[in-house]
Every structure is written in C-alpha cells, then in structure tokens.
Amino acid sequence: MEEMEKSIKEFEDEKKFIFECASFFGAFLKKNAMIAYNDSFNEYLDMLIKDEQAKEKEIRDDQKIEQMKQDKKTYNANKDIILDSIATENKDEILPIERIYEMRQKLCSLKHNGKSLKEALDGVISAKQRNHKVQM
C-alpha cells in the first residue's frame, strides 16, 4: 500500500511539472514566435473535456471532467503569471532559452513519463528536420 501511495505521489508530481513546463513553453512561444502562436495544449484539454462529457451518463466520469477543468485552470494560471512577468520585466531574463533546454532535459528524465516525452519530443524534432531538408 505504501509503495502504491509513493507511486501516486510521483505521478502527481510529474504531472504538476509537465503542466508547469507546458505553461512556460506556451508563454515562451507566444513571446518569441515569428508567427501567431496557437495554444494547442489548451485546445487539447478542451477536446479531452468535451470527449468525456459526450459519453453516455453510465460511462461518463464526472470526477475526471472536473479534474481536467481544474488542470486547465492551473495551466492557464501558470501561463498568465509568466506572461504578466514578461510584460513587466525583460523577457530574456524571464524566458531564457537555456531554461527551455533544462526543462526539456528534466522532462525526458522523469521516472514515469520521461521515456514517452523523449520519444514525442524527438519525433517532433526529427519531423522538423526532415521538413527543413525537403524545403532546401
């Protein structure tokens, strides 16, 4: 039982860090992108909520819906704090590129989700490199 509680805490801590990183990355892209930034993480959370709400009452998980709504609020609150800080201070001090690399490294080394995140991030980088070669 103690081991299961420990694992649950580890998963919750990882989830919190993943959301912090998503908020930070979203703010970074919003302030540094050369084209309009589309907050796909927010849209993804909306899609998950709508998908769960669309299920028949017998199989719909209202607790899961409320948790996802809370996750969305947390994500947006974190992102708003970062964006407010950027508005009042030097964005390079708030959002240094080195921090992006540090967060990516920490994400990829998470005990439970690190491998999946590394594969996803490596896949995005690989696809962008292939796309760049095709355009040249």
CB–CB of 16/71 below 8 Å? Answer: no
d(CA 118, CA 25): 16
Q: What pLDDT band is residue 57 in, cutting at 50, 70 and 90?
A: very high
CB–CB of 112/10 below 8 Å? Answer: yes
pLDDT tens digit string along 19-45?
889 888 888 887 777 666 677 888 999
Average pLDDT, the chain: 84
Q: Which residue has the higher pLDDT, 97 or 105?
A: 105
Half-sphere exposure of 11 (CA within 13 A, CB side): 6
pLDDT higher than 90, residue 108: yes
pTM over 0.75, yes/no: no
Q: What is the pLDDT of residue 14?
A: 95
Helix, strand, coil shares of the chain as percentages rounded to 5? Answer: 80, 0, 20
